[in-house]
Amino acid sequence: MSNPIGELRPPARLMMTPGPSSMDPRVYRALATPLVGHLDPWFRGCMDETQVLLRQVFQTENRITFPLSASGSGGIEASVLNSLEPGDEAICCVNGMFSQRMYVIAQHTPATLHLVEAPYGKPVDPEDVRKVAKGRKIKMIGLAQGETSSGVVTNIDPFRQVADECGALLVVDAVATLAGVPLNIDKQRVDICFSGSQKALSAPPGMSPITVSPRAEEVFRTRKTKVQSWYFDLSTAMNYWGKDRLYHHTPPISLIYALREAMRIVIEEGLEPRWERHHQNQHALIAGVEALGLKLLVEKPADRLPTVTAVMVPAGIDELKVRNQLLEEFNIEIAGGIGALKGQIWRLGLMGYCSQKQFVLELLGALDKVLVDQGHRHEPGAGVGAAVRYYTQAEVPALTAR
């Protein structure tokens, strides 16, 4: 019987989205290496190396540091479910769809929740959190360092101060920021932090790196009730990633290969040069976007997330048609708005491998042409010209070609 389904041949897209991001060729090569068993002695060594690299990327000495076999949403669930039990109170800081997800997941626990919100495009005010926490015994304060639904970055240090005042664990969503935005788990005293493999790390989707401080580990150890998930109970999941390597589940071995290689690339580049590269390339992108007559959702420069830029859709322009034409004509994918911002913004990702001068200029050139075709009035070539002028004045770290 003939097989009507042909060989898999995906198109080669440039993924200028909030994730997944395009990957370095070295990461693809790691994915293509031979599979071994998850209890193979060689793979145990690979796991050790993966944890060493992950501690370097998180900048931590935490014992519990490993990649969960899950998406970033699994990282949220593990962090929240392990922290909260009956009688606890928690504060969730919400300024977009993904920080709201932490609140939604926390509603599946028996804890009493307090919601502190900010409008899309702005970070939550730590003073508002302090007011809610006053006079209460708060177990956990949760927030997103990078909110990809609106392109907002949050300074986590003031929230650490509030958490200290009320004795709370500080839980940080770094899905959109790890390896793209300054983050030092030990110096900033973050108790639990999780991320996603497919964002600024530029590895395949499917893993959620997580790290847990000794203080949070002790909280987990002294729980009075069972965690409401067997799969995400970190006390048992860590048995596999701990020194005994006790079986818990079969992890995505090839994804671990790829994550290991992606983190090797991060460490070779250096965290500070990598953060600076993301920062400078976003400035060039913003210069180009504004030269095209487009406005940004996040007005205050200090609040703009370096890995995701939210651009307002001009009046009279069909945002979906612009995205579709970019994809069909230029093989470039960008994202539209989601949740409350659906149809109102484009989200342009500069994550990891995609945060490069050549890709910024390629995106701006393609966007210029598509906007002309869609009837937007601006000076042709203005976007690329503005970005080039920025690049001639700034020293932008380059990502070495591989």
- Interhelix angle 382-393/271-291, rounded to 10 degrees, is 140
Domain ranges of the chain: 25-267, 270-393
Architecture of domain 270-393: Alpha-Beta Complex (3.90)
Answer whether the bond into residue 252 is a cis peptide, omega within 30°.
no
25-267: CATH, from 3.40.640.10, 3.30.70.940, 3.30.470.30, 3.20.20.70: 3.40.640.10
Whether the predicted pLDDT of 1 surpasses 70? no
Average pLDDT over residues 331-336: 98
**Intrachain domains 25-267 and 270-393 with the same fold:** no
CB 326 within 8 A of CB 370: yes
CB 173 within 8 A of CB 102: yes
CB 152 within 8 A of CB 119: no
CB 192 within 8 A of CB 270: no
- Interhelix angle 234-241/214-221, rounded to 10 degrees, is 120
DSSP element (H, E) containing 311: strand 308-312
What was the pLDDT predicted at 367? 98
pTM of the model: 0.95
CB 50 within 8 A of CB 260: yes
Whether the predicted pLDDT of 89 surpasses 90? yes
381: its two tokens: 């070539």
- Tens-place pLDDT, residues 344-400: 999 999 999 999 999 999 999 999 999 999 999 999 999 999 999 999 998 777 776
- Tens-place pLDDT, residues 228-255: 999 999 988 777 787 777 778 889 999 9
328: its two tokens: 């069909």
Mean of pLDDT over the chain: 95
Query: Whose structure tokens read 């970055």?
Result: 153
What was the pLDDT predicted at 402? 46
DSSP string covering 340-384, please? GGTTTEEEEE--GGG-SHHHHHHHHHHHHHHHHHTT----TTHHH
- Tens-place pLDDT, residues 138-193: 999 999 999 999 999 999 999 999 999 999 999 999 999 999 999 999 999 999 99
What was the pLDDT predicted at 400? 61
366: its two tokens: 């393609």
- Tens-place pLDDT, residues 23-66: 999 999 999 999 999 889 999 999 999 999 999 999 999 999 99
The answer for residues whose C-beta is within 8 angstroms of residue 253's C-beta and 6 or more apart is: 35, 36, 38, 43
What was the pLDDT predicted at 236? 83
What was the pLDDT predicted at 39? 87
What was the pLDDT predicted at 401? 42
- What is the percentage of the chain residues whose pLDDT exceeds 90? 92
CA distance linking residue 279 with residue 295, whole number of Å: 19
